[in-house]
Amino acid sequence: MASSQVCLILLLALITISASASSATPSIYDKLREYGLPPGILPDSVSSYSLDKETSIFEISLKKECYVKKDYLVYFAPKITGKISKGQITELYGVQVQTYVLWIPTWVSIYEIKVFRNKVQLTVPMKTVDVNIADFEEIPTCQGNSLAACNDQSNVINPLPLIEAN
């Protein structure tokens, strides 16, 4: 009789653990996938997020501001906001990319991200840029602002090519 009570207690404990694990809040990267967006559009330093299901407005908090180096340099503010829907983020605030205007490094805001088949379309003022979605499958590592100040010519950071999308 005692062994059947122990088995029952263990079974109840497993059910409780399983239920609490399945009700855990999904990570922001899981949420991005639910909306058809690749997880690598955000760095690995997300500390929390909120999403209003009625308005689709989100707020993401990072541990601190950071830079991500790809073939270009991207800046993420400590707080990122926007509106998310299937395959896109609009009204984005808190993400910038380095580009050049007349050979002078300049930061421009990315204010919209859309996914089309195998492309991620980034919208900056007066331009859209298509980037291969494979570039956003891995979650990038957040780096400090010393990366942005790097002037070593052997480690040149290329600007995002601002080419009109078709």
The CATH number of the domain holding residue 120 is 2.30.240
Burial (CB count <10 Å: 0-12, 13-18, 19+), residue 129: buried
Summarised one tens digit per residue, pLDDT across range 97-124 is 988 778 788 899 999 999 998 999 999 9
Q: pLDDT tens digit string along 84-93?
A: 999 999 999 9
A 10 A CB-CB count for 31 gives 17
Q: Which residue has the tokens 């601002």?
A: 162
Q: Does the residue 11 lie in any domain? A: no
pLDDT tens digits, 17-37: 444 444 578 899 999 999 999
Please check whether residue 162 lies inside any domain of the structure: no
Q: Are 110 and 123 in contact (CB under 8 A)?
A: yes
**Domain range enclosing 147:** 28-155
CB-CB neighbours of 147 under 10 Å: 16
Give me the pLDDT at residue 53, please. Answer: 92
Helix (H) or strand (E) holding 7: helix 2-22
The model carries a pTM of 0.74
Residue 118 falls inside a structural domain: yes
Domains identified in the chain, total number? 1
77 token code pair: 């503010």
